[in-house]
């Protein structure tokens, strides 16, 4: 039952992609910016979690919450400092700024602490494995999966049931109409960055606990893959990011399981190319036609 095991691994990995992809998609939904620094927020989250666990001896959940809070503030600062003044600039200017921001964070972290990797302690979560239909399932991967799913449920609740969530949806649909409702657009955008970055921070800690090794450039590949996941689901669409992340994780695991481990990373980008050719609006995207 190698397959079932790979499937569970794929879903766990996919849920990490999904958490990162959510931030991409929410930010894109609201200001139409591909925030290339988002993968680096994930990296910062992993390091903050690491220092909280190793340095301060915090447990998993306190470290997770601390990292989420830290990244929320960090994400808001990035938006306020770098992106806010570009709101009426061309898209390419904003995109270049985002890439610059990404490099700044990566090399800022290297400057501050060096480029050497760190290893998360392996006793953060109890790890037992048990047998399910003959497959060896580790309790860690199930635990990580449930934390990710829990965060996504909370996000759905925020977006659909709270006032700030409704404001976010209104702003992403029509910024000026939202202003006419009395919605403070700047503040709503800040909340979006805060929530998206907190999820990336959570993904960073989960990643660290699951894969152990973290380093300052670790955000690049998962960031790109999460971007693919967001496009796959339909950029700007929240459930799309979740489903896109899970699909991508499972596809990668299946590709590895078939013995093509070296093709794992390529799989994501082949998916990106296929989706851009055959369904550029993504799985959940509709070909929007405005009603006049």
To another protein, the closest distance from the beta carbon of 24 in angstroms equals: 19
Distance, in Å, from the CA atom of 284 to the CA atom of 198, rounded to the nearest integer, reads: 24
Exactly one of 32, 91, 113, 173 binds another protein (CB under 8 A); that residue is: 173
Exactly one of 22, 44, 170, 243 binds another protein (CB under 8 A); that residue is: 170
Q: Are 198 and 97 contacting, i.e. CB atoms less than 8 angstroms apart?
A: no
Does the footprint of another protein cover residue 181 (CB under 8 A)? yes
Q: With 0-12 CB in 10 A as exposed, 13-18 as middle and 19+ as buried, what is 176?
A: exposed
To another protein, the closest distance from the beta carbon of 44 in angstroms equals: 32
Distance, in Å, from the CA atom of 215 to the CA atom of 13, rounded to the nearest integer, reads: 18
Tally the C-alpha atoms within 13 A of residue 106's C-alpha that lie toward its C-beta: 18
Which stretch in 17-25, 140-148, 275-283, 284-292 sits in contact with another protein by CB under 8 A? 284-292
Q: Count the helix, strand and coil residues of the chain and give each as a percent rounded to the nearest 5.
A: 75, 5, 20
Exactly one of 80, 84, 169, 264 binds another protein (CB under 8 A); that residue is: 169
Exactly one of 85, 91, 179, 213 binds another protein (CB under 8 A); that residue is: 179
Exactly one of 92, 180, 262, 277 binds another protein (CB under 8 A); that residue is: 180
Sign, Cα dihedral of 203, 205, 209, 214: positive
Tally the C-alpha atoms within 13 A of residue 96's C-alpha that lie toward its C-beta: 6
- Judged by CB under 8 A, the number of residues near another protein is 19
To another protein, the closest distance from the beta carbon of 95 in angstroms equals: 23
- Contact residues: another protein, CB under 8 A: 163, 166-167, 169-170, 173-174, 176-184, 290-292
């Amino acid at each position: 039952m190698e397959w079932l095991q790979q499937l569970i691994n794929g879903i766990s990995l996919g849920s990490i992609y999904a958490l990162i992809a959510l931030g991409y998609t929410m930010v894109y939904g609201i200001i139409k910016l591909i925030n290339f620094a988002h993968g680096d927020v994930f990296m910062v989250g992993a390091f903050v979690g690491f220092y909280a666990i190793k340095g301060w001896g915090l447990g998993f959940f306190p470290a997770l919450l601390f990292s989420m809070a830290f990244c929320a503030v960090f994400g808001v600062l990035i938006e306020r400092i770098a992106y806010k003044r570009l709101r009426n600039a061309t898209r390419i200017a904003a995109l270049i700024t985002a890439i610059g921001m990404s490099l700044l964070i990566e090399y800022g972290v290297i400057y501050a602490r060096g480029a050497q990797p760190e290893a998360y302690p392996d006793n953060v979560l109890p790890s037992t494995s048990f047998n399910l239909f003959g497959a060896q399932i580790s309790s860690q991967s199930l635990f990580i999966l449930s934390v990710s799913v829990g965060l996504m449920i909370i996000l759905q609740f925020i977006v659909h049931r709270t006032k700030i969530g409704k404001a976010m949806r209104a702003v992403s649909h029509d910024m000026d109409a939202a202003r006419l409702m009395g919605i403070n657009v700047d503040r709503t955008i800040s909340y979006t960055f805060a929530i998206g970055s907190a999820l990336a921070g959570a993904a960073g800690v989960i990643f660290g606990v699951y894969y152990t090794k973290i380093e300052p450039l670790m955000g690049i590949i998962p960031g790109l893959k999460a971007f693919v996941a967001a496009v796959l689901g339909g950029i700007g669409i929240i459930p799309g990011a979740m489903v896109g992340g899970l699909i991508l994780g499972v596809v990668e695991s299946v590709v590895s399981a078939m013995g093509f481990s070296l093709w794992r990373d390529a799989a994501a980008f082949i998916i990106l190319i296929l989706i851009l050719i055959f369904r550029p609006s993504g799985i959940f995207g509709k070909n929007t036609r405005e009603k006049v």
